[in-house]
Each structure stands twice: as C-alpha cells, then as structure tokens.
Amino acid sequence: MIRRLPKLITRNFQLKLIAVVVACGMWVGVVYASDPPAITTYNVHVQSRGVLHSGLVLLHPIAAVAVRVAGVASNVRNLEVPRHLSAEADLSHIVKPGEYQVPLKVEKTDPNVWIWSKPQRVSVFIDRETKRSIPVHFYVSAAPPAGFTVNTAKTVITPANVTVEGPESVLANVQAVASVNLATGRTSLTYSETVKITNSAGLGLGSEVSVTPSVVSVGVVIASKTTQSVLPVRVTFSGNGQPPSGYIVTGWQVIPLTITATGPASVLTALTAVSTQPIDLAHATSSETVNALLVTPTGTSLSSTVASVVITIAPVASASPTPTPAPTP
C-alpha cells in the first residue's frame, strides 16, 4: 500500500497542481473581499539628525514628506499609522550656508503595514546664526473707552530693547512689538506683555527666532478727554401734565436752573438741556415741591442728580353769574 503512494501523488499531477492554485486563489479572494489591499499616503514630519557646525542654523523648518504605505485597507487607514512613521535628515556634514539635498531616512514601527514608496532626499536651507539688539515698539490692540485717550509720548517700555537670535537673513528685517489691550483702561497702568517678533510685512515669526527677554513692562498713560458744559434743567411731566379736573397749574420753578455736565465733547455738543424724570400731577390738588431725578445722558456725569421743582396748583375759578337786567318802564 505504501509503495503505491508515489504513483497516487504523481497521477494526474498537472490537474492536481491546477486545482491547488485555483483553491489558493479562491481563498485569497474570500479573505480580501471584505478587507482588500490598499495604499495610502501620509505626510511625515522630518526631524533633523546630527549637529550643525557652530554658527549655522536652519533657515526654515524642514518640510514634511509624503510617504506611501501598503497593506490591507483596515491597517493602512488606521488613524494610528502616522504615529508609527518617522523621517530623519542628517545635517552633520553641512559646513556653510546654502540649499542642500540631504539623504532622508524613513522608518516604520507598525508591523501590519510596509513602506511602499518614500523620497530619498529632502531640501534644507542653512543660514548663518546671528544676534541683534532691537527696540520694542508699542502697539494698542484695543483703544480705551470713549472719553479716554492714550498719551503715547509718555509710554515707557522696560527694557526698551530686546535681543533677537536666529538666521541672519531673517533678522535683517524684523521688529519687536509689545501689544496692549486698553479696552477697559481708564487710568494709567503698567502691563506685562509678551514681545512679538514680526517681519517687514507685520507677520509674526515662529520658532526660528528667539527673543530675550520675552516679556517686557509697558507703562501706559491714559488721560480723560472730557469737557464740561452748563445746560438748563428742563422739567417734564407724565401723561397730559395736568392735575385733576377743577385744578390748574399756574406755574413752576426749578432749582437749580442749570446743571454742569461732564463728558466727551462729541456727546455734550449734541445736548441742549438736561431733563427731569417725568413728574406725575394726576392726583395733585395743591401746590407742592417735588425732588425729581435728572436723566443723565449716556457717557456723561452731572454736577447734581436731583432738582427741586416747586409747582403751584390752584382751583379753577368759578364763573361769576351775569345779573338780570331791570325791566324797562
């Protein structure tokens, strides 16, 4: 029986081999039908490896590179894949400023995918590292409330200068700015502000430039730009301004006659008088003195908030009867 096994295996060998291949193909098709092979591209951040020669610095951060990974769809599209990819550029051989194409080393730590394609080199820009002392400029990001102004001539920044360090070509056109928000400022104050380094276009620079110190003190002098105006007091009444039927207002007197208003000139020039709160005479049947609150215009203050109004009220006089004329003889 054992001697017949070789003949059993070799008989119709081609047909048997074809059957095995077809079966394997069908198995692969079934396996990958729900999770087919896929290739996905990821942008990988490039780290610099090796130490640049003294006095040299990267002009810009190295651009990310596109790396294509392959595997079954569920693996290559996993959000954790980018964490398992790394790229390094060796800068240790660069000895002078310029643009270089340096070798790129790309690696993976995820065993479920493999690298399908990757760039072999990456561009880097090298510049000389330099240091400069520049003045700090004062900038108001939000103006004080209405009626207040900043005396920029008396603004004091301590220290007045900061030291910036970075690529020589970048530092040629930079300025240091201390920005202060004065939206609630009504008095002189000292602010601690972070120094922002900007280029000639006013755009902020990133980590390629360092600044020392990074925080300065900004002493801001805020002054009031208010003025004063003497305005008459205007008495107002609620309803029709009349007492009950049978009575009449014969006159009134307000004390004081004028009020001093303090506020922005733009507000005061539009005012012609200061009004009292409406006085109700609907139930008044005799003369009375009313302490009426004054309506304070928005953005101003008044020398007094109350005015005394002396109101004279009298009964309506009855009509005298007309005498009957005597009969003519």
Entry pTM: 0.52
What's the CA gap between 111 and 132, in Å, rounded?
A: 49
Q: Strand 114-117 and strand 65-72: pairing?
A: antiparallel
pLDDT in tens, the chain (329 residues): 445 546 555 665 666 667 666 666 665 555 555 678 899 999 999 998 887 888 898 888 899 999 999 998 888 889 899 999 999 998 988 989 999 999 999 999 999 999 999 999 999 999 999 999 999 999 999 988 877 888 888 999 999 999 999 999 888 889 999 999 999 887 888 999 999 999 877 777 777 789 999 999 999 998 877 788 999 999 999 988 888 988 999 999 999 999 999 887 778 888 999 999 999 998 888 999 999 999 999 888 899 999 999 999 999 876 556 666 666 65
What's the CA gap between 305 and 14, in Å, rounded?
A: 113
Q: Please state the separation of Cα 37 from the chain's center in Å.
A: 45
What's the CA gap between 290 and 235, in Å, rounded?
A: 11
Burial (CB count <10 Å: 0-12, 13-18, 19+), residue 176: buried
Topology annotation, domain 129-224: RNA Polymerase Alpha Subunit; Chain A, domain 2 (2.170.120)
Q: Strand 37-44 and strand 65-72: pairing?
A: antiparallel
The domain limits of the chain are: 30-119, 129-224, 226-315
CATH of 30-119, one of 3.30.70, 2.60.40, 1.10.3470, 2.170.120: 2.170.120
- Domains 30-119 and 129-224 in one fold: yes
pLDDT at 324: 63
Superfamily of domain 226-315: YbbR-like domain (2.170.120.40)
Quick one: DSSP state of residue 5? H
What's the CA gap between 203 and 313, in Å, rounded?
A: 73
pLDDT at 111: 92
208-211: long-range contacts (C-beta < 8 A, 24 or more apart)?
208/57, 208/58, 208/59, 208/60, 208/61, 208/166, 208/167, 208/170, 209/164, 209/165, 209/166, 209/167, 209/170, 209/171, 209/174, 210/164, 210/165, 210/166, 211/162, 211/163, 211/164, 211/165, 211/176
What's the CA gap between 215 and 291, in Å, rounded?
A: 55
What's the CA gap between 288 and 302, in Å, rounded?
A: 25
What's the CA gap between 30 and 34, in Å, rounded?
A: 8
Residue type (1 letter), 172: A
Q: 60 with 101: CB under 8 angstroms?
A: no
